[in-house]
Amino acid sequence: MFRAYAHFSVDHPFIHKFNLLAVLSIFVVSCYELLANESIIFALGFVLIVFPALVFAKASDYKQKYLSAKN
């Protein structure tokens, strides 16, 4: 899965940037709502971004190791 997303991010950089922006915005909104409203339900935003962040990190590592020679 990480290898496939690494290839996807190289082939479609704008969609990859949109994905990063979406995950970052979920994180920022969750942080703000958690601090402003002090309701634990907004901590779900942290849970929602764990898997995409892991995929982005592993795909980036794969891309640096194996796809950098391609460019």
Tell me the pLDDT of the chain averaged across its residues.
90
Helices (H) and strands (E) in the chain, counts: 3, 0
- What is the model's pLDDT at position 11? 93
Query: What's the pLDDT band for 49 if we cut at 50, 70, 90?
Result: very high
DSSP 39: -
The parent domain of residue 13 ranges over: 1-67
Domains identified in the chain, total number: 1
Which percentage of the chain shows pLDDT scores above 90? 70
